[in-house]
């Protein structure tokens, strides 16, 4: 059975890293003693070692030891043999580029769909969708493909932001950018606000957290999805 969490963010407000997800993660990773971390997104250019150290210190709080995928000689076997997997946030273009460069996209998909518990935050959640085309990140590298894990039958826009009422800023809103995407693609998009996440158990997809999420379909008016809604449609 698939066990997947796709979270908009790793850190909420002034909390510690992943702190707001701890109650969920304890259950999600129950009986897991080790976790494979994929640090390829490198937020702010942080090194793989430093990123893995940060994640390791966090997961020690729930008694799980962490090892980064870059520490393994055979990265394909590392994924196949993992008790649990976490892909952290950062730059989605860099993450996807590295997954393809190391021939890991398909094996990661197969391993997750076979039942290995998976956690993604930000970029690590973005790759859970059909494609990475609704990321917010700068295209600092060119991946082999924009196709991603297809763990859910739509795309995600993590860190979704609503327009600020009364603001004089004349730049594009997230809704505008998603409408631009829907000029060239019919893939639905879920705008996932901070503090929200998707829980996927086998074929059931549930919106979690205290906030609504914004659902976009091509040529349709966006709608709000309430917490605990079943999104398996």
* Nearest in space to 40 (alpha carbons), one of 153, 127, 134: 127
- What is the DSSP secondary-structure string of 6-53? EES-S--TTPPTTGGGHHHHHHHTTT--EEEEE-TT-GGG--HHHHHH
Question: pLDDT tier at 165 (50, 70, 90 boundaries)?
Answer: confident
Would residue 159 show up in a list of annotated catalytic residues for this protein?
yes
Query: For the segment 38-95, what is each residue's pLDDT rounded down to a tens digit?
Result: 999 999 999 999 999 999 999 999 999 999 999 999 999 999 999 999 999 999 999 9
Total length of the chain: 233
Would residue 203 show up in a list of annotated catalytic residues for this protein?
no
Q: What is the pLDDT of residue 170?
A: 61
Question: pLDDT tier at 210 (50, 70, 90 boundaries)?
Answer: very high
Angle CA(206)–CA(192)–CA(90) in degrees, nearest 5?
Answer: 115
Would residue 50 show up in a list of annotated catalytic residues for this protein?
no
Instruction: Compute and round to an integer the Cα radius of gyration of the chain.
Output: 17
Active-site residue, selected from the candidate residues 10, 137, 182, 196:
137
Taking the domain 3-225, which CATH number applies? 3.40.50.880
Residue 163 pLDDT > 90: no
Please identify which residue in the block is written with the tokens 């800023």: 169
Which pTM was predicted? 0.96
Angle CA(77)–CA(28)–CA(147) in degrees, nearest 5?
Answer: 55
Domain boundaries, the chain: 3-225
Active-site residue, selected from the candidate residues 122, 125, 182, 196:
122
């Amino acid at each position: 059975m698939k066990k997947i969490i796709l979270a908009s963010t790793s850190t909420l407000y002034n909390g510690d890293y992943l702190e707001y997800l701890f109650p969920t993660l304890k259950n999600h990773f129950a009986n897991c003693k080790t976790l494979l971390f994929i640090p390829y997104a490198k937020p702010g250019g942080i090194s793989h070692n430093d990123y893995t150290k940060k994640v390791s210190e966090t997961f020690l709080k729930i008694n799980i030891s962490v090892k980064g995928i870059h520490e393994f000689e055979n990265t394909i076997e590392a994924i196949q043999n993992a008790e649990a997997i976490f892909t952290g946030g950062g730059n989605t273009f860099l993450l996807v580029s590295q997954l393809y460069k190391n021939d890991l996209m398909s094996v990661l998909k197969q391993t997750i769909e076979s039942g290995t518990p998976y956690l993604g935050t930000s970029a690590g959640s973005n790759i859970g969708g059909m494609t990475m085309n609704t990321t917010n990140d700068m295209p600092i590298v060119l991946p082999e493909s924009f196709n991603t894990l297809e763990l859910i039958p739509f795309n995600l826009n993590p860190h979704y932001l609503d327009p600020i009422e009364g603001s004089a800023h004349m730049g594009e809103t997230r809704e505008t950018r998603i409408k631009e995407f829907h000029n060239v693609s019919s893939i639905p998009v879920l705008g996932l606000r901070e503090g929200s996440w998707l829980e996927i158990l086998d074929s059931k997809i549930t919106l979690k957290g205290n906030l609504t999420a914004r659902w976009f379909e091509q040529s349709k008016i966006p709608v709000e999805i309430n917490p605990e809604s079943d999104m398996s449609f």
